[in-house]
A and B are shown apart, each in its own frame.
Chain A
Amino acid sequence: MPDVHSLVNDFLIKLKKRNIEGSQATAKLTAELLRSVISSQRVPYTNQAGALIDAVKAVGEQLIAANPIELAVGNIVRRVLHIIREEDLSLTTAAMAGLNMSTVSDDEDDGERDNHPVLSAAVVAAAARSTLRPPSLQTLLEDMPDAAAVPHTSSSGGDSEEKTKSADKSSRSRKLKHDVIEAVNELIQDIGTCHEQIAEQAVEHIHQNEVILTLGSSRTVLEFLCAANEKKRSFRVFVAEGAPRYQGHLLAKELVARGLQTTLITDSAVFAMISRVNMVIVGAHAVMANGGVIAPVGLNMVALAAQRHAVPFVVLAGSHKLCPLYPHNPEVLLNELRSPSELLDFGEFSDCMDFGSGTASPLLHVVNPTFDYVPPKLVSLFITDTGGHNPSYMYRLIADYYSADDLVVQRRPAIGS
């Protein structure tokens, strides 16, 4: 327990100090931390899910407050909460179904079932998802046969009679935790492999002899472009350098190392070059529920240029970047101002900042925002690990990953402090 506490503290400090960069790393670390929080959480006999949710929420609040600008933290916290709810729901439905079965169908084949009561949890979860919640578009379109098959399996998932209710309970509590941890592991795995999953789709989008433009550096974009290259597509990449951090330079270097035709341009040359570009592919910091994108600074300009020349503007985002909040939500910090030293040399300008002489009020103000907001109407397509989506579809996708109850994790601290 103290171990977890120190882990949490450690992570909190890292978040506060802005020591972790990149939403993928943050998401992964958050998920791993929450996994250990869950595994160390002692579960009471009643209302296990509630206890887990409270524990995760308590930690989640702190994490979100520690670095409110990194939305991935909040996303993962909500995802984990959602997982707990789902698993709990599936277990309850399973139990209820089991009870129903045992009373109604009078121990038809309990002998066999006794051997593997754990087996069907996932199936039950799927069943619960399809029965108790409004079906998502995807399940409506694709999972129809499954859903039809579910009632059958769920009925078989029932435990035998009232045999030992307490034993059943304890096994259930252990099972809930176990299942949740399993699911969180899956989530961590998903986060880890999101690049590959997105990159797999590259060939469908990048065609022979195309010109792709990107800005700054994004690991997802890099993998995406390289995947297309590996599949023997030959195309050229324009990289806008992404001032003031110039991560585009790094991307260009990396692309060249992997054998791609690369052209490096300044950010201000984007408009001049856009008419030659077939597609803009960029990474994102976060995707909001309305399909708007919070992205590295300069991207709004690129999106407007792309729109002007009717160039498709494609955003790559792992599912951990999907944020269930809307950008007009006051909880969402849309931007972060970083140190002006990234823009100009302190030593050279130190005489402009001598407050001893003159009016004593700073005449020079350097603003260094990290992010841009790209409205959904400028985005042509989102590519996530589950495939390509239209901006207007994002809210639906988000509904698959989050439960509405968790949208406001911070309600209590907001009143408290």
Chain B
Amino acid sequence: MGTQKKGASRGSEDPVELARVPLQAILLADSFTTKFRPITLERPKVLLPLVNVPMINYTLAWLESAGVEEVFVFCCAHSIQVIDYLESSEWFSQPNFTVTTIESHNSVSAGDALRLIYERNVINGDFVLISGDTVSNMSLTQVLQEHKERRKKDSNAVMTVVIKRSKPSQITHQSRLGTDELFMAIDPNTKQLLYYEDKADHAKGYIYLDKLLLADNPSITLHNDKQDCYIDICSPEVLSLFTDNFDYQHLRRHFLKGLLVDDIMGYKIFTHEIHSSYAARIDNFRSYDTISKDIIQRWTYPLVPDVKFFGNSSIKLERQGMYRASEIGQSRSAQIGPFTVIGSGTKIGNTTKISNSVIGEGCSIGSNVSIEGSYIWDNVTIEDGCKLRHAIVCDGVIVKSGAVLEPGVVLSFKVVVGRQFIVPPYSKVSLLQQPTKQDSDEELEYADNSIGIAEISSITHTVDKLNGEITNQPFETQCWPTSELGTGGAGYVWSICEGGHDEEWRHSVAPIPADKLSEAIHAADDDLELTQDGRSLPPSGELKPDSNDSEYDDDGESRDDSIYFEKEVEATFLRAVHENITVDHVILEVNSLRLSYNKVAADCAGGLFYSLMKLALETPHDSASELVQAITNVLAKWKKLLKYYLAEIDEEIEVILKLEEICESTKEFAPVFDKILYQLYDLEVIQEEAILRWDDEKKDADESDKFFVKQAEKFIQWLREASEEEEEEEEEDEE
């Protein structure tokens, strides 16, 4: 709102204010990802049409209107195409707006790009860092001012990240842009960014925050409803930081997180939230779809189809969000539904139905075609009777009569789909074969693996090998030969990378299929029940993002955690054994572990007991009896420690269960279960009541579970008799 209201006054002020230091911007015309393959094999992502205008024009138009005077366009993949396009466009002839291209062939990441720009030494002040696939209409005035003021006070405030509120889906845990749910911790007063996690593991169901975060800041707010707009205001230090840390590749994953973790240099990152203006980045096919719809719904005003913000042909907005160019050939019986854009020179045949779609220029669409939620680029021919649902169809594609494109299909340039052929859902078709080797010229997948680079290369290797194997096999199901794209078809259907198949529906243009959705809802519901079933409170230091967070089994996650805990306890204990630490100190250490993992005394007892047994097992022994002896020795020695955690009967039962578990897993212990149990009783680690209750609990159990109960039957029998006697002789006992 503010942007437009103050538009007039800003228009006159801006140039004056900015003339002192020309505002610069770095535009990365390469996303360094492979999400838009196979399309990006032939054309760079920034030149792909978004509502019939190449994406880079949105970014440049925004930079230009936001008062940026000098833009460095960094081209890497398909750099020639990008440079050619820019040279033939009007961008080079704009007043007060210079566009300079920087070409590189060996950059594989944003980090490389920024290092190269640093070497060129062209940036001499605060700059805007943006990727060429970002759509925005925000005003930079305020954020720049904030950034500069912060810089004056604190020279370590190197970066301001623009964020926007946008709720993620509760079911799939992805934002409306198809990216993963993003967690941010922000200081509400200073707006400093303290924590950033875009790859939170929903299997775990919680995220970790450093305790120091809470200690150092009077208050923090944790958000999962913020969307990263990928618009950054950076100080020149950012470039040198990239040069200093040559392993920084990805802007967010390495650089931003690196700065947040690194407290030696003390660099700070701040956030700026935009409310009424729009900003979003096209990251995958889903965001392509979402942002297209946002543009059609005019959230990006004035960057909308009917405003000629950049050399686009004149399009008129009609009722119900229908945009039509002036020169289209539309049959009277054709039904063009709401939220549709039709480019000039397109011809549409009889009784064709189009809704929620974008049709490019010069397309010819036959009769009885139904197009729903699809993106059809320029000069596409769609013959009679075709059905397209939620597909992306690139330039020059021919879809022959009667063909059907199922949801999520991507047809790359000049593919031909044969008559009556049904292209299966989520398939990606290209005239080029799927590459089996990564070239440095091509985009690399740094952005989307949470793991280090070394691991990535190994993964890509395995994937490549896998693909290699597949393609080497003479055309099997995954890889159709040309002729199998229907009669007269041309193009290879790409196989979906291993592991990617599951994720395919998340990032596709098609909406999430109903079955996946209901699956996710189920998982969420189950999880909710689990949480309500009185699970222990979330530990301090771990904040659960939401009650129903995980679509996976929750038990697995908690078991995971216990294993870590046990290992820690064991390590502590062994240290105590080897370094002769007093029992009191061990207790102190175990207690601190207990607090940090949020465990109860029973867990500690179990853990310690496990370590004791392990220690006993490791002492050299020849026979079962020697083993028992060793156990007795160890137990006697560390009784005090163990006893500390056995305040209640429940904890003692826990120890028995643990013993059972250990005996189950270690065959050496199995035959001597009853003996160990007796020793425990004898050393007064465990009271008879615990053993009896354990026995009672086991009565209902399966036969297999009763193995050890049976083994200890005699002992229990003896105990029972003893206790009965005791009951009789209560008075005596009390002495």
Contacts and interface: CB of A to CB of B under 8 A. Distances in A.
A361 B314 CA distance: 25
Contacts of B4: 18, 21, 338-339, 342
Interface in B318-376: 320-321, 326, 338-339, 355-356, 373
A89 to B, nearest CB: 34
B169 A19 contact: no
A6 B164 CA distance: 36
Interface stretch (A97-105, A269-277, A348-356): A348-356
B402 interface: no
Contacts, number: 147
A346 B278 contact: yes
Contact of B511 (A339, A353, A356): A356
Contacts of B95: 6, 9-10
A193 to B, nearest CB: 19
B278 A17 contact: no
B525 to A, nearest CB: 16
A346 B64 contact: no
Interface in A349-371: 350-351, 353-362, 365-366, 368
Contacts of B302: 16-18
B299 interface: yes
Interface in B165-195: 165-167, 169, 171-172, 174, 176, 178
Interface stretch (B290-298, B562-570, B655-663): B290-298
A83 B44 CA distance: 51
A340 B297 contact: yes
B511 A346 contact: no
A346 B94 CA distance: 33
Interface string B382-407: 00000000100000000000000000
Contacts of B339: 361-362, 365
A96 interface: no
B55 interface: no
Interface residues of A, number: 44
Contacts of B275: 341, 345-347
A169 interface: no
Contacts of B511: 355-360
B381 to A, nearest CB: 24
Interface stretch (B5-13, B423-431, B642-650, B713-721): B5-13
Contact of B317 (A25, A337, A346, A355): A337
Contacts of A361: 339, 355-356, 373
B301 interface: yes
B289 interface: yes
Most buried by B among A341, A365, A366: A341
B47 interface: no
Given A350-B176, A360-B390, A362-B293, 16 more contacts: A9-B94, A16-B309, A18-B307, A337-B301, A338-B301, A339-B298, A345-B165, A350-B166, A351-B176, A353-B176, A354-B169, A354-B176, A357-B169, A357-B171, A360-B373, A365-B321
19 contacts: A6-B95, A18-B4, A18-B302, A25-B8, A247-B5, A337-B298, A337-B317, A339-B278, A339-B299, A340-B297, A341-B278, A345-B275, A346-B275, A347-B165, A348-B165, A355-B289, A356-B511, A360-B511, A365-B297
Interface of A: 6, 9-10, 13-14, 16-22, 25, 65-66, 245, 247, 333, 337-342, 345-348, 350-351, 353-362, 365-366, 368, 417
For the complex of A and B, the 10 pairs showing the least CB-CB separation, nearest first, are A347-B165, A360-B511, A339-B301, A21-B8, A350-B166, A354-B176, A19-B11, A341-B276, A6-B95, A351-B167
